[in-house]
Structure 1
């Protein structure tokens, strides 16, 4: 994450169809690119971006539907998504609801602060993708 000016916050955004809106009130704690096969399926791309934010620093409006799965680590991930377009908005671990894994950062009106500072599950990454030099990387979940 770069040293973005606090002047950009709040940053507003929405899902693809506009039924769910959100406002990021402060800089994310962390921005992670996950290269696991599940995230490749979720994002229909080489990796997904997760911004870790404090629940108090994000406002989400609109009806959300739930899905849940147990990760390889044993952690439960509850995903919240828009019922209209299916965009995943965020995930939480029920034992740590104060931290949100915000998945819809690409829907923000300003994405300049969404720069991955860590890449995880790199053992499953697409061979053609090169992780920038100097960025933390882990073969599995950290």
Structure 2
């Protein structure tokens, strides 16, 4: 992680209807290569910052969407009802931990993935960085 990052870091959806403050550093930053994250990001992978729910302050109305994961767990997503920008994901059975979508932070230097997951579904054209922990599926 970049050591000169100061907290809190402000974040917002594309239209500004949902704003938030990340109060402390993430526990980890993951790049997920599963097909669902490829759909979400319209790219090769999606970035997630795993944080304690108490480390983020949200403002604005959000809608929720849910789906079943391969594990059988429920994955829920909170998003702006106006612009549709995803803000975070969470497991309803473990609401104390959220998976923030950090690309909408004002300071994106925290986006330095320490793990890559679901690399069994990664795009062939993407080369994984050397020295980063990789998992074929969910660890």
What is the TM-score normalised by the length of structure 2? 0.96
Give the alignment's Cα RMSD to 1 decimal. 1.0
Name which of 104, 110, 117 aligns with 2:107: 110
The answer for the alignment partner of 1:129 in structure 2 is 126
What's the offset of the Cα at 1:4? 2.5
After superposition, give the CA deviation of every residue in 1:86-140 in whole Å (9 maximum; x if it has no partner): 011111111111101112x111110111110000110111111111101000111
Supply the distance in 2 between the matched residues of 1:133 and 1:139 (Cα, whole angstroms): 16
Q: Which stretches in structure 2 are left out of the alignment for 5+ residues?
A: none
What is the TM-score normalised by the length of structure 1? 0.94
Supply the distance in 2 between the matched residues of 1:99 and 1:139 (Cα, whole angstroms): 23
Q: Which stretches in structure 1 are left out of the alignment for 5+ residues?
A: none
Greater than 2 Å deviation, 4+ residue runs: none
Q: Is the 8 A contact 1:31 1:117 kept in 2?
A: yes
SS at match of 1:69: strand
Supply the distance in 1 between the matched residues of 2:2 and 2:16 (Cα, whole angstroms): 29
